[in-house]
Structure 1
C-alpha cells in the first residue's frame, strides 16, 4: 500500500467571513468537477469524523453480540475464535481494493461510479446499473438487519431485567422496530454539521463499550473455560453433518459485521481532503473492527460456560444468558443497554449512508421517482427525501420480523447485496480497467491485481454460502429468505434494464453543466 501527497493536509484557510472556501475544499471541489459533478454539500466531515462514521456502522460490540449465535451453533468455541479470524484476512483484501478506488474517485456515487469508469465502454452502463441496484439492496437490508437486532436487544434486555416475567413476541418486536425506524428518520434528516460532530461522540461510545465488554467478560469468566477449550473445542449444532461446512457457516457473523465501510466513499462529497480521508477511513475502520471483533469473540469463548446450556436459552438473543451468568444481573444489564444504545446509533449512521447512495443513484436518474430522491433540502443541505425513502423501504423489509429466521435472512441479503457491489468495480479494475485507474493518494501499486483477484474469489464463495439455510432441516420458519429478497430485486432490475433502462441509462451523468441558480427543483435545494 502506498501513499502519495496530493492535497496539503493543513492548507492555509482563505475564509474571509463570507463563506469563502478553504484551499483544501477548493481542491476537493475541483477534483469532484473533474469526476463530472458539482459540489452540493458542505464539507463538514474531518478525517477523524470520517473514520468514526465508518467504525460506527460496523460497531463491533453490537455486531458480535447480536451475531453470537452463528458461531455458537457452527462450532462452539473454535468457531467463535477462528470463524472470525479467517474471513478477516479476505475482507481486508476487499477493503484495500475499495480504498484504492475511493482515493482515485472520491464521489458520493461511489461503487457504481467506479464500475462505470473501470468497465469497458460497451459494458459501462450495465456494470453501473448492476452495482447500483446491488448496493441499494444491501444498504436497505443492512438498515433493517441492524434495527431488527436493536429491537431484539431491547426485548432481550426487558426479559433479562424482569427475570423472564416479560417476554415480548414478534408483534411487539415489529412495533419496536417501527419506532426505531421512525425516530432515526427524524434524526438523520439533520444537517451535515450536526451529523459530523456527533460521530466523535459515537466513536467514544464504541470504544468505551467494546473495551469494557472485552475486559469484563475476560476477568469475570476466569476459570470457567480452559485456554485450550476456548481456542480449540469444536461442537457442531447446526444439523449439517459436514463439520467443515458447519464451521464455514460461522463466517456469516464477521461478514455481516464487516459491512458498511463503503460509507466513507459515500460521504466523500461531505468530507475534507476526501481523496485521502476516504481510503484511510475504510482501512482504519475495517482493521480496527477486525482486531476488536476478534478480541470480543475470544472473550465470548472464555465466557461461554457451556455451549449446550446457552443453546437452551429462552431469550431472543442467547448471549444474554452469558452476560447474566458471568457479570451478574446488574453488570449484565449495564453493559447490555450500552450495547443497545450503540446499536441504535449504528442504525442512524447506516441510514445516513444509505440515503447518500440513493441520492447519488437518483442524481443519475436510475431509480423510480429519482426527481424526488435527488432533492437537497434548502435548510439542512442534506437529501432529506432520500432519508425517508430508505427508511420506508427498510420498514417494509421489517415485515420479515414475524419469522424466526428474520435476522438470518436480512443479514444474508445485506451481505450479498453489499459485497456484490463491492467486488463488481474491483473485478473490472483488475480486468478491463487495469490501465484506466488514475492513482489517488492511496494505491496498491503492483499488488492491485493479486489483492483484487483474492477479493473477487472470496466474495463469489461467500455469496453461495450465504444463500444456504443455516440448518439442514428446513421449514417455513427456518428458511433463508435472503434468496427471495435478492431474487426479487434482481428480477426487477433485470426487467427494468431489458425493457427500458438499456435504452436511456448511460451510467453516471455529469451535472457540472447544470446552472446552480436554475429554478428547477431537481438536484438543488428545495
Structure 2
C-alpha cells in the first residue's frame, strides 16, 4: 500500500492510473541517463521519480559501507571498550556481537528506513514514527561523521607523540582545527568527485584490506619472541572496570556495535544500479566481511598485546593500538602503521559525508527538515548530486564538533549519538512491520521465509540492548563528571527535540513521504492496485474514482462533506 495514500487523512493525494510498466520510466535528464528502466520502476513503486544518477555498482555499494566501517581504524578507536574485558572478552565479544548485527542486517535489507516505517505503521502512529526515524537516522549519520573525523586529529596526535617519544600534548583548540579541516575537505571532495566516487570507494576498500593484511602479518612477526598462547587469547577474561565481570564483557560489545554500526550507509538506493539486489547484498557483504576479518584482527591483537593490559590502556601514546604497534615493530614501524591508519580513517570520513548527505536530501524531499525547500534541489553542474545537503552535513558536523572544546567526555557523546540514534532508526521499521504491518509485508529480493518474523524480533531485542548499552559509563558506576557517559543527554535531546517539534508544528503539515513522480505525456508513473484499495478501506480511508483519477480521503473528511 502506498504511504502517500495512507497519509491522506491529513493531505489527500491524487493518484493517476497508469500501466504497471511504462517506457518513460527510463529516466534521462538533459541527455544524461540517470537509471535503467528496472531501477526507475522500483523507485516509482515508492512514489519517487529518479533524480540522482546511479553511479554505484553492487561492489561499489559494498565499498561505501565497508569504507565507512573502516575496520582496523574503528577497532583501534574502540579498544578502550574491549580491552578491559581481557583478550578472551575482546575476541568473543566481537564474534557474538557481529553475529547479532548480521541478523539485524538480514531483517533490515529494505532501503529508506523512514519510508518503510510509514508504510508499515498504524494510521495513528505512522507520521510521528516516520518523522522520528528520519531525524534519528539523519543525525545519527552526522554523529558518525563527527566521531570519525574527531578520530582523525587524535590519530594525527598519536603520530606526533610517537615521533616525540610520548612528550607532546596538543590543546583542544588545535584538535578542533584539525577536525574542522578534515570535515571541510571532505565536503569539497564529496562535491567535486561525484563521477569517480564509486571508484574511490573501491580504492578505499583496497586500502582497508592492505592495512589489515599488513597488520596481521607484521604484528606476529614483530612479536615472534613474545606472542601469547591460545589459552590467553581465547580463555582469559579480565575486568579492568569497576562493573561486575559479566557486564564488563557486555560493554566490550560496544566495539563491534560501533564499528559495524554503519552497515546501512550503503543504503544509497537511488544511486545504486540494480538496487533491489545491490543494497541488501551490500549490507550483508559488508557485515559478513567485517565479522570475519574483524575476528581475525582481534585474535591477532590478543596474541600480540602486552599481557599487562593496564599498561597498554594507560599508554603514554594515548592510544592502545599505538602501543601495540610500537611494541611489535618499533618506533619507525609504529609511525608508518599509524600513518596508514590515519589515511584510512580520512577515507572513512569522506564516505560517510556521501551517505549522510543522501539521507538528509531524501528527508528534505519530503519537507521534514528545516529549510527543506533550500536543501531539496539537485546540482546538475556537479553531477546530479545533492550538493546543498553535502554542505548542510558539513555545517552541522562543525557545530557538533565544538563539543570537543569542552571535554573528552563531551566529545565522546558524538560516538554515542551515532550508535543509539542509528539503532533506533533501524529498530522502528522492523517493529512497525511485525506489530502493525505483517498483512502488508511482501518478500523482497532477500527473504528468510518462515524465519523472517523470529529474526525480526531478535533484531529488535538486540537493537534495544545496544541502545541501553551505549548509555552506560564504560569505567564503572558513579562516574565523575569528566568521564560521564552523556549518551542519554545527547540522544534524548535529539529524540525529545524531534518529538516536541512534531507535536507543536510538524503534525499539522507533515504527512510522510511525498510522491514526486511527474506526468509524462499525460500519464503519471504510479498506480493504485486492487490490494492497495482494500488496505485503504480497512484503514478507514475512502477511495473515489472518476475513471482516470483516484482520490483518497479519510472517512471523517468524507462525512464532513
Q: Distance in 1 between matches of 2:278 and 2:73?
A: 25
Is the Cα–Cα contact under 8 Å of residues 118 and 429 in structure 1 kept in the other structure?
yes
8 Å Cα contact 1:157-1:336 kept in structure 2: yes
**CA–CA distance in structure 2, aligned partners of residues 462 and 86 of structure 1:** 13
**Which of 78, 91, 105 is matched with 1:95 structurally?**
105
What does the per-residue CA deviation read over 1:477-496, in whole Å, with 9 as the maximum and x for residues that have no partner?
11112212111112211111
- Name which of structure 1's ranges 291-300 and 430-439 shifts more when overlaid on structure 2: 430-439
Q: CA deviation at 1:473?
A: 4.2
- Cα shift at 1:334: 1.4
In the alignment, the residues of structure 2 paired with residue 225 and residue 437 of structure 1 have an alpha-carbon distance, to the nearest angstrom, of 51
1:423 aligns with 2:424: no
Cross-structure match for 1:292: 293
> In 1, are the aligned partners of 2:129 and 2:428 still within 8 Å (CA)?
yes
Alignment of 1:327-338 (within 5 A): 327-338=329-340
Q: Which residue of the other structure, out of 492, 495, 505, is the alignment partner of 2:497? A: 492
Question: What is the count of residue pairs matched by the alignment?
Answer: 490
Q: Does the aligned pair in 2 maintain the 1:158–1:167 contact within 8 Å?
A: no
Contact 2:159-2:338 within 8 A present in 1 as well: yes
- Where in structure 2 are the equivalents of 1:189-338 lying within 5 Å? 189-222=191-224, 223-240=226-243, 242-265=244-267, 267-305=268-306, 306-338=308-340
Matches within 5 A, 1:349-388: 349-380=351-382, 381-388=384-391
Q: 2:51 aligned with 1:46, yes or no?
A: no
Query: Offset of 1:447 from its aligned partner?
Result: 1.4
Match of 2:83 among 66, 72, 82: 72
Deviation at 1:57, TM superposition (A): 0.8
Q: Report Cα offsets for 1:372-413 as digits up to 9, x if no partner.
A: 122211211111110111111112221222312245422222
Contact 1:190 1:382 in 2 (8 A): no
Return the alpha-carbon distance in structure 1 between the equivalents of residues 496 and 32 of structure 2. 48
Q: For residue 42 of structure 2, what is the aligned residue in structure 1? A: 31
Superposed CA RMSD: 2.0
Deviates further, 393-402 or 411-420 = 393-402
* Structure 1 length-normalised TM: 0.89
The structure having more radius of gyration, on CA atoms, is 2
Decide whether the 8 Å contact of 1:78 with 1:231 is kept in 2.
Answer: yes
The yes-or-no answer on 1:166 pairing with 2:171 is no
Deviation of 1:92 after TM superposition, in Å, equals 0.9
Asked whether the 8 Å contact 1:118–1:436 carries over to 2, the reply is yes
Show CA shifts across 1:160-193 (max 9, x none): 1221233323222111111111111111112532
Alpha carbons 1:44, 1:196 under 8 Å: kept: yes
Shift of 1:204: 0.8
Change (3 A) 1:432 1:419: same
Partner of 2:182: 180
Q: CA deviation at 1:309?
A: 1.6
Structure 2: gaps spanning 5 or more residues: 1-25, 522-561
Structure 1: distance between partners of 2:229 and 2:342: 30
